[in-house]
Amino acid sequence: MTTGPQLPSAYRLVALDEIDSTNDEAKRLVEAGAEEGTLVWARAQRRGRGRRGQNWVSPPGNLYFSLVLRPECPPLQAAQLSFVAALALADGLGAFVRPPSEIAFKWPNDVLLNRRKVAGILLESSTTTSERLDWLVLGAGVNIVSAPAETAFPATSLRAEGCGPVTAGDVLEAFSRHYLAWSKRWREDGFAPIRQAWLHRVTGVGERVTVNLESEKWFGKFADLDRVGALVVEMPGGERRTVSAGEVYFGPQT
Ligand code: BTN
């Protein structure tokens, strides 16, 4: 590993050259008792995972990390941390991107640069009661020097967007500082300021979405994010429905 990032003392860094998946390593550590703030960072992943079981191509040069969290709140509320992480990534990337206003969000927690995906977030958790989580692992991947070709949604990297010399360690350092600030805001002031800041950068409001639930499928338009973090979909007749679980696809209605 090259020079290590300087992280605030709230984190305990576990830096690895290569691993199957930083989320899997963080889960192994948390099951063995790792504390909140344990941060697994790998130079490359052999089996990086995205949402919906997709592969996350993970060659050296990009950023792959997973943060162990033990939020003392119900699972639905803890899911709001994906928005907190998206804000921290956007602010962290803002130091390297000109203009930072080109950084945007796409539901549920993709970070875009110039309308292409530059980072993704994967939350995984364990619960034994509906009251609180045992743990939550917040994983993120940031395309720094390369991005996969031929993805369903176009991808890009900081290098492809001309962002100059920036390393995975630089972005991790920036993320870690902003994550502390945004998660403090969330703990103290709740979801309202997070929602507001996320909506400020979001793309796709008014666009068509397909919602695939276990037993039904709806077609509508992305209308809003509600007060707890669920997607609000406007149906063709004007009725509004919220979706927190389930699969939501943007694009043509098939
Ligand atoms: C997505 O957009 O589908 C989420 C991608 C999350 C990828 C990161 S890379 C670090 C961590 N380890 C994994 O296996 N996945 C996440």
Q: Is the distance from the beta carbon of residue 106 to the nearest atom of ligand 1 less than 6 Å?
A: no
213 by DSSP, 3-state: which? coil
At 35-88, the pLDDT tens digits run 999 999 999 999 999 988 899 999 999 999 999 999 999 888 999 999 999 999
Q: What is the CATH number of the domain that holds 122?
A: 3.30.930.10
**114 with 151, same domain?**
yes
Q: What is the CATH number of the domain that holds 227?
A: 2.30.30.100
Atom of ligand 1 nearest to the CA of 140: 8
CA–centroid distance, 236 to ligand 1, in Å, is: 34
**185 with 122, same domain?**
yes
Listed in order, strand segments (DSSP E) in the chain are 12-19, 38-45, 63-69, 103-106, 110-113, 116-127, 133-142, 208-212, 217-225, 231-234, 240-243, 247-250
Q: Model pTM?
A: 0.94
In a domain, 230, yes or no: yes
128 vs 73, higher pLDDT: 73
CA dist 160 → 15, 52, 97, 156, 157 (Å): 26, 26, 12, 6, 5
215 vs 32, higher pLDDT: 32
Contact 118, 93 (CB under 8 A): yes
At 213-235, the pLDDT tens digits run 778 888 999 999 999 999 999 99
In a domain, 177, yes or no: yes
**What integer best gives the mean pLDDT of the chain?**
92
Q: Is the distance from the beta carbon of residue 139 to the nearest atom of ligand 1 less than 6 Å?
A: yes
Q: Is the distance from the beta carbon of residue 141 to the nearest atom of ligand 1 less than 6 Å?
A: yes
- Whole domain around residue 220: which residue ranges? 208-250
Atom of ligand 1 nearest to the CA of 22: 12
109 by DSSP, 3-state: which? coil
In a domain, 95, yes or no: yes
**29 with 122, same domain?**
yes
Overall number of domains in the chain: 2
**146 with 111, same domain?**
yes
**43 with 101, same domain?**
yes
The pLDDT score that the predictor gives to residue 254 is 46
In a domain, 244, yes or no: yes
The residue whose CA is least distant from atom 9 of ligand 1 is 141
Contact 240, 234 (CB under 8 A): yes
**24 with 139, same domain?**
yes
Q: Is the distance from the beta carbon of residue 5 to the nearest atom of ligand 1 less than 6 Å?
A: no
**227 with 143, same domain?**
no
The residue whose CA is least distant from atom 3 of ligand 1 is 50
**74 with 184, same domain?**
yes
- Give the full edge-to-edge strand order of the sheet including 240-243: 240-243, 231-234, 217-225, 208-212, 247-250
Does 100 score more than 90 pLDDT? Answer: no
Atom of ligand 1 nearest to the CA of 65: 10
Please state, in angstroms and rounded to a whole number, the distance separating the CA atoms of residues 138 and 35: 14
Q: Is the distance from the beta carbon of residue 108 to the nearest atom of ligand 1 less than 6 Å?
A: no
Does 2 score more than 60 pLDDT? Answer: no
In a domain, 6, yes or no: no
**215 with 195, same domain?**
no
**191 with 220, same domain?**
no
